[in-house]
Amino acid sequence: MPIAIERVEEMRLAAPLEAEIAALIATAWDDYEGRSFYKQRHHLRLLAREEGRLLGHMALGLRAVRLGDDLVDIATLGEVCTHPEARGRGIASALLQEAIAEAKASPARFFLLFGVAKLYPAAGFRPITQNLRLLGMDGARSLRMVHSRADDLMVLELRGEAWDEDKPLDLMGGSF
């Protein structure tokens, strides 16, 4: 049976589905205290199912950030996971293609993620090194403002506009 991709807006995320997502995330990452997100809620969830079983998840956000002095809309990717028993079957790649389509349909000019997996460059993302300002968070708790240099940030230009690595990036909140 083929993998079915389901699109769920965060505002429509019912408690049983959120618990199912949290359980999947706990198989791939740390348990986020039963939450389906680590730091902040997202805007949209993409779910991969086979015969009703949840095998993959990606969360997308839309936010404004400062790139230098410019206010820029970006799409973000977070909470990427595939059930350990289903890895290597192209589930994450299929979800990522759907995520890119969602990002292109949004007002975002760029699609950003923190990560280094091989699947991202294969989909057109490129690594960037950027001076960052963000709210440092641990789980769902604010800690302090952080100024750092990101070495695991990737970008996909969505509208033919080049991302400027020389400008500082203020996430105007926590990472994603």
CATH of 4-170, one of 2.130.10.10, 3.40.50.720, 3.40.630.30, 3.40.50.300: 3.40.630.30
Q: Would you list the domain boundaries of the chain?
A: 4-170
Residue 42 corresponds to which tokens in the numbers above? 């997202």
Q: Are 136 and 146 in contact, with CB atoms under 8 Å apart?
A: yes
Taking the C-alpha atoms of residue 32 and residue 160, their distance in angstroms, rounded to an integer, is: 37
Contacts 24+ apart (CB under 8 A), 104-108: 104/158, 106/62, 106/73, 106/75, 107/62, 107/73, 108/62, 108/73, 108/74, 108/75, 108/158
Residue 76 corresponds to which tokens in the numbers above? 């973000």
pLDDT for 100: 98
pLDDT in tens, 102-142: 999 999 999 999 998 899 999 999 999 999 999 988 878 88
Distances (CA, A) of 96 to 66, 85, 100, 160: 25, 19, 6, 19
Task: Name residues of the chain where pLDDT drops below 70.
Answer: 1
| pTM for this entry | 0.93
Taking the C-alpha atoms of residue 146 and residue 42, their distance in angstroms, rounded to an integer, is: 21
Amino acid at 154: M
pLDDT for 99: 98
Closest CA to 35 of 139, 166, 171: 139
Contacts of 2 (CB under 8 A, 6+ apart): 50
